[in-house]
Chain A
Amino acid sequence: MERTGDLLIRLEKVDLGYDGPPILTGVDLEIHRGDYLGVVGPNGAGKSTLLLALLDVLTPLSGTVERPARVRFGYVPQRGLLDDVFPLSVADVVRMGLDLTGQTDARGDRIESVLAEVGLAGLTHHRFSELSGGQRQRVLLARALAMEPELLILDEPTNGLDLRSEASLMGVFDALHGSGLTVILVTHLLGLVANHARTLALVEGGTVVSGPIERLLTADHLETVYRCPVRVVDVDGQRVVLPLEPRPRGGSRREYGQGGDRS
């Protein structure tokens, strides 16, 4: 896949971890302006560790991290990590993004405009903790947009959302990417990245494999990563990733019905 945008971040032979042995070793990854990267992998594989390194919050144990220029991040955290006890309105949360980036001019207008961008115009004075999951996620997205990011990083943005909310939110991310924003989507839902991201970073086995989605999103690759049978099928032009039941070896066959257990 041709990547013509400016380089934003390059990780070269990077080892990542905390106390003790590294969690990810020899990570090579490039993020270019205009990319839409999906970061996927099994639970505990190290997605969050990679995310922290990309955000420049975690210092690598070894290797080279290249950032040609200071990148403005728009980070959308998992909404479940934010405490409901804070008495903040929607406007307060978005204003936080302006405060953190030192924007002082026309704040009211800016808050209204970013809320309108994510489809939440009119909810300015609502209490953040009383919104639905999808609305909260949009508020956090609005806060990230208020920070005028070059790189938008989304951490499990559709966790706990129903299908309609998920589709709607993914539509917003697609539109933002279409407008020129670089997007990194960290998720455990393969179906999301399969139809939205352009490039993929598979985190597994202590390292990261990255490349175009057409090359990596194959049954062979996914079976290696997830250690279970997988099928990738095309339904009306949409990729669907199906985990298959592992076939029992020499096991019994059971059928259940009106006649009761006929094993």
Chain B
Amino acid sequence: MRSGLGHLLGLLLLPALAAAGEPGAAASADPLADLERQIELRVPRGAGPSSAPTVRERPRGESAARVERTASTPALVEHEYPVPHTHPEPHLHLHWHSILEPFEQLFIRRAVVSGILAGGICAWLGLFVVLRRMVFVGIALAQVAAAGVALAVFTALDPISVALATTLTVSCWIGLSTPRRATSPEARVGLLYAAAGSLAIILLAKSATGEGEQLEMLQGSLLAVPPGRVMELVVLALFVGLLHVAGFSRLVAVSFDPLTAQVAGVRIWLWNLILLLTLGTGISISIQMCGLLLVFGYMLLPAMAGLATGLRLPGVLTVALGCQALSTIAGIWLAYEADWPPGPAIVLTMLAFLAVVVPVIRATLARSRRSPTTQAQTRSPGRHVESERVSPRDLPPDRSRASETSTVDGGSAPTAIKPPSSA
């Protein structure tokens, strides 16, 4: 998990460094990228869809306005542009109206909905990724999806379809191939990661819009999500959600103790494959919109936040989904206000959630366990013993003779061992 965080920080720094070098950067081969540096598009406040934006030359050194475009074609998105800030009052005097102002924009609301849907899918799947210690598989699949998008850019095909095809193929390969003793599974996944990463860079370097696409693949284009993509995400979220809710207990059993599940007749290869295929699908659909960095962040950080609270599995899932949803809203707001790329802004917000909110949740839970009301409940005779008040460390190492009778905190007397029903 720590190596995953290191990788994430590395990915996080790359777009920041790229942005830092932007004002003085030499002219690139991408005319659109040059246009981003040189001009600013202005849309009058309250202008309707038919109003044409004005274009002004941007003085050297002034920060760039965002110019949105689709990933597959270098053409400008015609129907919407992010509106530059025209706050009449200083930023320090924030009122609810000004705080909520970004969310009055349709493209921002669409970005929030898309981010929450994609993040929800990735966070749910990411919990299994983290629990099964297969974070590297998650990174590798995201890299494969990115290579698929690069292949689509190079061949002018539909990015989602190509990314989906490549990722699902690789997911099947990971799920169904028999590990050889000579190489560990991690080494094979590492090989996959290196191959996919190299392929993506070469394909993008050879495509017409290579440089811009590389940055976009890393940080995504969450602010330019077309309406159709939101519907795709809704369908995907429903599909993954229903499948995982229906098979939740099987997935947990297969992840926690695969041999026992297999002995009980569960086809563990099938459930592993289901997990990998849903993971591949979720990543493929999200990668072009959210970018490599944000997809990986969504898979790792909410799960870490949930697990760090010390709650049980349903609580962990709730915190993880809450973390990604709140971070998506706050991150997009931050990106709008500070003129940051949204992907890194959301990842930073999730890190802040992990650093600030999770300790608060832990402290609150610890306080509630120590509260007089709860303690009184445990002392009342005849009540069922609850777990929170009795630390297992307070109990004897094991219960033999007297302790076997489970008399700690009023626990029940031992039950006679009953013969099995079938014997």
Instruction: Please list the residues of chain A having a beta carbon within 8 angstroms of any beta carbon in chain B.
Output: 19, 33-34, 55-57, 72-73, 75, 77, 81-83, 85-90, 92, 95-96, 99-101, 113, 116-117, 119-127, 130-135, 138, 143, 145, 147-150, 161-162, 164-165, 167-169, 171-172, 175-176, 178-182
CB distance from A99 to the nearest CB of B (A): 4
Q: Which of B54-62, B232-240, B262-270 contacts A (4 or more CB under 8 A)?
A: B262-270
* Residue on A nearest B393 in the bound complex, by CB: A130
**B131 on the interface (CB 8 Å rule)?**
yes
**B21 on the interface (CB 8 Å rule)?**
no
* Residue on A nearest B180 in the bound complex, by CB: A19
A175 vs B408: C-alpha distance in the bound complex, in angstroms?
23
CB-based contact B415/A134 at 8 Å: no
CB-based contact B392/A131 at 8 Å: yes
CB distance from B390 to the nearest CB of A (A): 7
Closest 6 CB pairs of A and B: A134-B398, A125-B387, A122-B411, A168-B400, A165-B398, A180-B423
CB-based contact A164/B398 at 8 Å: yes
Q: Which residues of A contact B253 (CB under 8 A)?
A: 96, 99-100
* Residue on B nearest A71 in the bound complex, by CB: B422
Q: Which residues of B contact A147 (CB under 8 A)?
A: 264
Instruction: Please list the residues of chain B having a beta carbon within 8 angstroms of any beta carbon in chain A.
Output: 130-131, 133, 181, 249-250, 252-253, 255-257, 259-266, 307, 310-313, 315-316, 385-388, 390-393, 395, 397-401, 403-406, 408-412, 414-415, 417-423
CB-based contact B312/A92 at 8 Å: yes
29 contacts between A and B (CB under 8 A): A73-B263, A87-B311, A87-B316, A92-B312, A96-B257, A99-B250, A100-B253, A116-B412, A117-B415, A120-B399, A121-B411, A121-B412, A121-B414, A122-B412, A123-B411, A126-B390, A126-B392, A127-B392, A131-B392, A133-B398, A134-B399, A143-B260, A162-B397, A168-B400, A172-B417, A176-B417, A179-B417, A179-B418, A180-B423
CB distance from B180 to the nearest CB of A (A): 8
CB-based contact B392/A75 at 8 Å: no
CB-based contact A82/B392 at 8 Å: no
Q: Which residues of B contact A169 (CB under 8 A)?
A: 398
Q: Which residues of B contact A89 (CB under 8 A)?
A: 312, 387
Q: Which residues of A contact B398 (CB under 8 A)?
A: 132-135, 138, 161-162, 164-165, 168-169
CB-based contact A119/B414 at 8 Å: yes
CB-based contact B263/A75 at 8 Å: yes
Which of A125, A133, A165 is close to B386, meaning CB atoms less than 8 Å apart? A125
A86 vs B307: C-alpha distance in the bound complex, in angstroms?
8
CB-based contact A77/B312 at 8 Å: no
CB-based contact A75/B259 at 8 Å: yes
Q: Which residues of A contact B262 (CB under 8 A)?
A: 57
CB distance from A198 to the nearest CB of B (A): 16
Q: Which residues of A contact B400 (CB under 8 A)?
A: 164-165, 167-168, 171
CB-based contact A96/B131 at 8 Å: no
Q: Which residues of B contact A33 (CB under 8 A)?
A: 423
A53 vs B315: C-alpha distance in the bound complex, in angstroms?
39
CB-based contact B399/A135 at 8 Å: yes
Which of B131, B259, B263, B399 is close to A85, meaning CB atoms less than 8 Å apart? B131
Q: Which residues of A contact B386 (CB under 8 A)?
A: 125
* Residue on B nearest A124 in the bound complex, by CB: B387
* Residue on B nearest A122 in the bound complex, by CB: B411
Q: Which residues of A contact B181 (CB under 8 A)?
A: 19
A19 vs B253: C-alpha distance in the bound complex, in angstroms?
27
Which of A122, A167, A175 is close to B409, meaning CB atoms less than 8 Å apart? A122
* Residue on A nearest B252 in the bound complex, by CB: A96
A88 vs B316: C-alpha distance in the bound complex, in angstroms?
10
Which of B133, B266, B399, B409 is close to A100, meaning CB atoms less than 8 Å apart? B266
CB-based contact A87/B313 at 8 Å: yes
Q: Which residues of A contact B415 (CB under 8 A)?
A: 113, 116-117, 121
Q: Which residues of A contact B405 (CB under 8 A)?
A: 119
A33 vs B249: C-alpha distance in the bound complex, in angstroms?
31
Among A120, A121, A147, max chain B CB count under 10 A is at A121
CB distance from B178 to the nearest CB of A (A): 9
CB-based contact B421/A120 at 8 Å: no
Q: Which residues of A contact B418 (CB under 8 A)?
A: 117, 179
Which of A81, A85, A99, A168 is close to B307, meaning CB atoms less than 8 Å apart? A85
Q: Which residues of B contact A181 (CB under 8 A)?
A: 419-420, 423
Q: Which residues of B contact A132 (CB under 8 A)?
A: 392, 395, 397-398
A167 vs B421: C-alpha distance in the bound complex, in angstroms?
26
Which of A88, A101, A172 is close to B264, meaning CB atoms less than 8 Å apart? A101
Given contact pairs A88-B252, A148-B420, A171-B400, enumerate 18 new A-B contacts (beta carbons under 8 Å). Answer: A75-B260, A75-B263, A83-B256, A85-B131, A86-B256, A96-B249, A121-B412, A121-B415, A122-B410, A124-B387, A130-B391, A132-B392, A135-B395, A149-B420, A162-B397, A162-B398, A165-B398, A179-B423
Q: Which residues of A contact B311 (CB under 8 A)?
A: 87
* Residue on B nearest A172 in the bound complex, by CB: B417
* Residue on A nearest B414 in the bound complex, by CB: A119
Q: Which residues of A contact B315 (CB under 8 A)?
A: 87
Q: Which residues of B contact A56 (CB under 8 A)?
A: 263
